[in-house]
Amino acid sequence: MSIFIDSGTTLLVQGITGRDGSFHAKQMLEYGTRVVAGVTPGKGGQRFEGNVPIFDTVADAVEKTGANTSVIYVPPPFAADAMMEAASAGIRLVVCITEGVPVLDMTRVYPYVKEKGARLIGPNCPGLITPGESKVGIIPGRICTPGPVGVVSRSGTLTYEIVYQLTRAGLGQSTCVGIGGDPINGTSFIDCLDAFEKDPKTKVVCMMGEIGGTDEQEAAEFVRDHMTKRVVGFIAGQTAPPGRRMGHAGAIISGSAGTAAEKIQAFKDAGMGVAQRPKDFIDLVKERM
Q: State pLDDT tens for residues 133-155.
A: 999 999 999 999 999 999 999 98
Band of the pLDDT at 237, cuts 50, 70, 90? confident
Q: Are residues 145 and 96 in the same domain?
A: no
Mark which of 74, 90, 121 sits at the end of a domain. Answer: 121
Check residue 258 and give its pLDDT: 74
> Are both 59 and 92 inside the same structural domain?
yes
Residue 252 and residue 46: Cα distance in Å, rounded?
A: 45
pLDDT at 4: 98
For residues 179-199, average pLDDT: 96
User: Does the annotation mark 248 as catalytic?
Assistant: yes
pLDDT band at 253 (very low <50, low <70, confident <90, very high): very low
Q: Kindly state whether residues 155 and 274 are assigned to the same domain.
A: yes
**What is the reported pTM?**
0.93
DSSP state, 53?
Answer: E
Give the chain's mean pLDDT: 93
Average pLDDT over residues 17-42: 98
pLDDT score of 31 = 98
Task: Based on the fold, state whether residues 246 and 113 are members of the same structural domain.
Answer: no
Q: How many domains does the chain have?
A: 2
**Is residue 130, in this structure, part of any structural domain at all?**
no
| pLDDT: which is higher, 124 or 248 | 124
Is the pLDDT assigned to residue 232 strictly greater than 90? yes
Residue 20: domain span: 10-121
Residue 211's nearest CA partner among 185, 186, 242, 189 is 242
The catalytic position among 121, 248, 253, 263 is 248
Of 79 and 236, the structure prediction assigns the larger pLDDT to 79
What pLDDT does residue 240 have?
Answer: 65
Evaluate whether residue 4 is within a structural domain.
no
Of 67-71, 185-189, 257-261, least confident by mean pLDDT is 257-261
- CATH code of the domain covering residue 55: 3.40.50.720
Q: Are residues 223 and 278 in the same domain?
A: yes
Query: Pairing mode, if any, of strands 127-130 and 134-137?
Result: antiparallel
pLDDT(179) > 60: yes
| Together in a domain, 146 and 270 | yes
In this structure, the answer to whether residues 149 and 260 fall within a common structural domain is: yes
**129 domain residue, yes or no:** no
User: Does one domain contain both 158 and 27?
Assistant: no
pLDDT band at 238 (very low <50, low <70, confident <90, very high): confident
Q: Who's near 61: CB < 8 A, 6+ residues apart? A: 12, 37, 38, 39, 53, 55, 67, 89
Query: For residue 199, what pLDDT is reported?
Result: 98
